[in-house]
Copies of this chain bind each other. A is one copy, B any other.
Amino acid sequence: MPPIPIDNEGDPRLAAYTSIREKDLTSGHGARFIIEGKVTLETAVRRGRFALESIFIADSRIEPLAELLARVPADVPVYTAPQSVMDKVTGFPMHRGVLACGLKGEIPDPAAFLESGVSAASTLLLLSDLSNHDNIGACFRNAAAFGASAVLMDAQCCDPLYRKAIRVSSGSTLWLPYAQGGTGLDMVNAAKAAGYEVWAMTPRTDAASLTSLPVPARLAILLGAEGPGLPDEVIAACRAVRIPMSEGFDSVNVATAGAITLSHVFTAAV
């Protein structure tokens, strides 16, 4: 479909793109999400698992992006406008000039996801109560780097399709399968029922050392909120595992703890 020129920032077809930053603060887990920048749009088009509702690109970017736009399904409208109109719509200088609106669709909860048979997977990353978008994004990036098959999150985790989470994840939240819903304990129980051994990562000194354990064929690595960590009753339902560290300095960032564990497991499995 040829790009559809728009010359008025009040055009209702651009409603999804108005005041992006304010929407970030208020919309929470919405039905739509925003994709920003060429590299992320490329990821969304080439391997993303979400339908695009529309694309919105500054005039000047149409030609450089011609090859990518040719791959966009014909029923996805591509709106185009001068940079100045784009900036007015979004509410801030949109230098990159590339936006798209994705449709989240139905995100299954972890139990439904595991029951659907996608669980031939060997390594899962489980996240409980992570409310920081950088951490969620980084967890996905690390899960992708070390070949985890999916990320499962409880309802308390923030939205992996929030703009910053997508960016920090290197676009992996757009293609790596994930599920979200319920409590941390629900998620742990569902993983165990599906045959996964669940490792609750914790700095507790009575936990088993990561490097002392055989890596099971079906492993779920569970990370909790930075600061408080996982609640005791959740840890009690899992195997408690710690990363060996210097005495007197017993914690790394939560996504970093996940990366170290995923890397260890990936290497052990090679």
Contacts and interface: CB of A to CB of B under 8 A. Distances in A.
Interface stretch (A9-17, A55-63, A138-146): A138-146
A172 B245 CA distance: 15
A256 B253 CA distance: 9
A252 B141 contact: yes
Contact of A141 (B170, B253, B259): B253
Contacts of A243: 263
Number of copies: 2
A246 B211 contact: no
B267 A142 contact: no
B256 A142 contact: yes
Given A256-B142, A260-B259, A266 B249 contact: no
A56 to B, nearest CB: 26
A251 interface: yes
A270 interface: yes
A176 B21 CA distance: 38
Contacts of A146: 245-246
B246 A144 contact: yes
A82 interface: no
A263 B266 contact: no
A252 B145 contact: yes
A255 interface: yes
A220 B124 CA distance: 33
A30 interface: no
10 contacts: A142-B252, A144-B246, A144-B249, A145-B245, A145-B246, A170-B251, A172-B249, A245-B266, A246-B266, A260-B260
